[in-house]
Structure 1
Amino acid sequence: MQPLSDLLVLDFSTLLPGPMASLFLAEAGARVVKVERPEGEDMRRYPPRLGDEAAPFAALNRGKESLALDLKAAGAIERLRPLLARADILIEQFRPGVMARLGLGYAELKEAYPRLIYCSISGYGQAGPRANEAGHDINYQAIGGLLGQSLRRGGVAPQPPALVADIAGGSMPAVLNILLALRERDRTGKGCHLDIAMTDAMACFAWYGLATGQASGRYPAGGEGVLTGASPRYRLYATGDGWFLAVGALEEKFWATFCTAIGLEEPLRHDACDPDATGGRIAQIIAGQPAAHWRALLEPLDCCCTVVRSLDEAVADPHLTARGLFDRQVEEPSGRRMVSTPLPLAPVFRDAAPALRRSPAVGEHDGEGG
């Protein structure tokens, strides 16, 4: 029996943050019922297709159920009441006030269902000057100071590779706080309203810059932090064939091994004297050989130097496959299969066997009630 196998989750969310949060809960055993518009949620229309289904939707909705319902229609709330009466957790991702206007706000539901844990995920939170402002991941990273940590004024702006705000600011804090709320409910018998703002977590990721600024009286500008470009020990270096070497040799023992391996001149190894000179010379050396050379030379030395892997290399990596990262599969309604979204869920909390599970068709479980 999995830790959440006795819980029912009603998921009103769409796209990424809420659906990934409920996927965590589903993978830990919870029954998750997606409440969708009759035409289905927006992610069902995102390319590419996997048979009859959108691949991004299938990857996020393994093992869930679908209830198609127009929340604005007469009688919609009454249709939901059997599920609401049994639900432990409700996840919603509308702008503040929308659920209340539909008759499903926390204040309305709290009286009838006092044990309900009600989780609201939004960009800027349920209150504050920006609460009703539209945004996406890149906007939340921008306003929270995270993007500015690595951008140099006048420099080239790289596209962030990760949806940090959506996942690390929305999905994961939602799961963390839901689990804390379940623990609190065990003690008190009462549910609560969780206000998860994706922008809030961006300051968490800027922790080092915040500490530096408060201690020194000056917050570091973009590229000035040890981990954001100022140190030659922690950078990406272009290889001779146009790819990249990730160097994270912060500690002296790793740095010494790295410098010796690449033949860096002794004076430049004292990188605190002139970091730009040291970094510039390392860039010249690394650019002199292809990625395969540095992979063969540096990775066996255990000095925190790794050639960047493409995604197709990552899914075939012996370590990642040995960890079972891509074992869980999802089948869309017409029968095609793909790897489900890999989740960092401890094996002890997963089902014993990586069972194949379906992603639901729109309204597939309409007649199943509570």
Structure 2
Amino acid sequence: MNDTTDQGARGPLSGLRIVEFAGIGPAPFAGLALADFGAEVTVVERPGGETRLGGGAALNRGKTVVQADLKSPAGLARVRELVAGADALIEGFRPGVMERLGLGPDTLLAAHPKLVYARLTGWGQDGPLAQRAGHDINYVALSGLMPFAARPGQPPALPATLLGDIGGGALTMLFGLMCALWESRRSGRGQVVDAAIVDGVGYMGTLIQALRAGGRWDDDPTRNLFLHRSHFYDCFECADGRWLSLGAIEAPFQQALMERLDLAQGASAAARPEDDCAQWPILRDAVAARIRQEPLAHWVAVFEGSDACVAPVLTAAEAPLHPHHQARRNFFMQDGIAWPMPAPKLLRTPARPGAAARASDIREELSGPDDIRPDVTRGD
């Protein structure tokens, strides 16, 4: 693992100045990504805000943290000074909070026309749900994509925060922010980026919608290779209770899979496996029984060097030790914890994670009581 957090070399976003209003979940992650790639990110925290769920020190790596009372004239004046020197602003409050503080986009863009004002919420700045509470699971549910993760007879299950908060939220907002900054170089004008998690998740579903439009996606799980009914696209339990993932969609990969499982004689003869769904139940039982005969380490060795599209299901503690992650330096050590390296990798100006934020690093200025809440449309 990479054991350094050196910031000696500037990243590709060097010179970009961001003011982030402290929040929870996806907005702090977006600021973290910008800081990792070299932007100068200043976080405006309320006193004591570092203890909140889904934000705080762990996501303030490489940022400058200041504390300010956003309800005091002095605090607001200082924040406006910070924004006046920034290229962009990030906020994740519920709709209307920034306007009530006198920090809404109309006010700030009037004084700073080139400012890019990025807003991240669960449901967006308008619409009938804009003021409703919600969480990652709710936004994904409304997108129409959750059934694509369903298993027979079970409710859909999703990895926490990854699809909604980070994919549909933080990463979508980051892309919008970069688009607006690029456009401002030509027009000399800033604009508002309205990033709603529910919108972003829906957009991420474009590939599936394209498959549906082309007749390549069947809503019937008995005929849909992605919906955990086939023998070649699912996770199967090994003898030691560990799990092996199979993703052999194309016919050559499926053939390689069945050969290494010593089940080639029972493999489908169809040119493409999705055309042979009638055989799936029998073949699935055979594959499941075969994989249960040996521990995970055995199957890892069996499929070494194979194009059968097989990978072990690793724990969070195991992943940093995997040879592939180590070869690509996909994790780095900080305070005794293995953290994921920023992605993607830029070969000439790579990201360099900054030092972890600590209480002693916070600049106390204009602090005072502050009951500004993070975006309650997210329920956090």
Please give the TM-score of this superposition, normalised by the length of structure 1.
0.86
Matched, 1:19 2:28: yes
Residue 288 of structure 2 corresponds to 283
- Any stretches of 5+ residues in structure 2 without a counterpart? 1-9, 367-380
Residue 201 of structure 2 corresponds to 202
Alignment CA distance shift 1:150-1:261 (3 Å):
same
Within-5 A mapping of 1:46-195: 46=53, 57-152=56-151, 154-155=153-154, 157-158=156-157, 160-161=159-160, 163-195=162-194
Which of 37, 41, 54 is the equivalent residue of 1:28? 37
Of 336-345 and 78-87, more deviation after overlay is shown by 336-345
- Any stretches of 5+ residues in structure 1 without a counterpart? 48-55, 330-335
Contact 1:169 1:200 in 2 (8 A): yes
CA distance in 2, matches of 1:223, 1:151: 12
Of 219-228 and 132-141, more deviation after overlay is shown by 219-228
Number of matched pairs = 351
Paired AA for residue 17 in structure 1? P
Matched, 1:37 2:46: yes
Within-5 A mapping of 1:340-351: 340-348=339-347, 350=349
CA distance in 1, matches of 2:67, 2:222: 48
Q: CA deviation at 1:45?
A: 4.3
Paired AA for residue 355 in structure 2? R
Alignment CA distance shift 1:210-1:219 (3 Å):
farther
Q: CA deviation at 1:348?
A: 3.2
Q: CA deviation at 1:102?
A: 1.0
CA distance in 2, matches of 1:98, 1:349: 40
CA distance in 2, matches of 1:343, 1:362: 25
Contact 1:299 1:305 in 2 (8 A): no
Alignment CA distance shift 1:12-1:223 (3 Å):
farther
Of 213-222 and 338-347, more deviation after overlay is shown by 213-222
Matched, 1:308 2:313: yes
What is the RMSD of the two structures over their aligned residues, measured on CA atoms?
2.7
Alignment CA distance shift 1:195-1:241 (3 Å):
same
Paired AA for residue 25 in structure 1? L
Q: CA deviation at 1:265?
A: 5.1
Alignment CA distance shift 1:325-1:134 (3 Å):
same
Contact 1:11 1:22 in 2 (8 A): yes
Deviation by residue 1:275-302 (Cα, 9 ceiling, x = unmatched): 2222222111111221121111113323
CA distance in 1, matches of 2:60, 2:182: 26
Alignment CA distance shift 1:355-1:361 (3 Å):
same
Residue 234 of structure 2 corresponds to 235
Of 187-196 and 76-85, more deviation after overlay is shown by 76-85
Runs of 4+ in 1 over 6 A off after TM superposition: none
Residue 359 of structure 1 corresponds to 357
Residue 370 of structure 2 corresponds to none
% identical aligned pairs: 34
Alignment CA distance shift 1:266-1:70 (3 Å):
same
CA distance in 2, matches of 1:357, 1:104: 30
Q: CA deviation at 1:349?
A: 6.1
CA distance in 2, matches of 1:213, 1:16: 32
Deviation by residue 1:313-350 (Cα, 9 ceiling, x = unmatched): 11111221222222363xxxxxx554445321323365
Please give the TM-score of this superposition, normalised by the length of structure 2.
0.84
Q: CA deviation at 1:171?
A: 1.2
SS state at 1:347 partner: coil
SS state at 1:284 partner: helix
SS state at 1:229 partner: coil
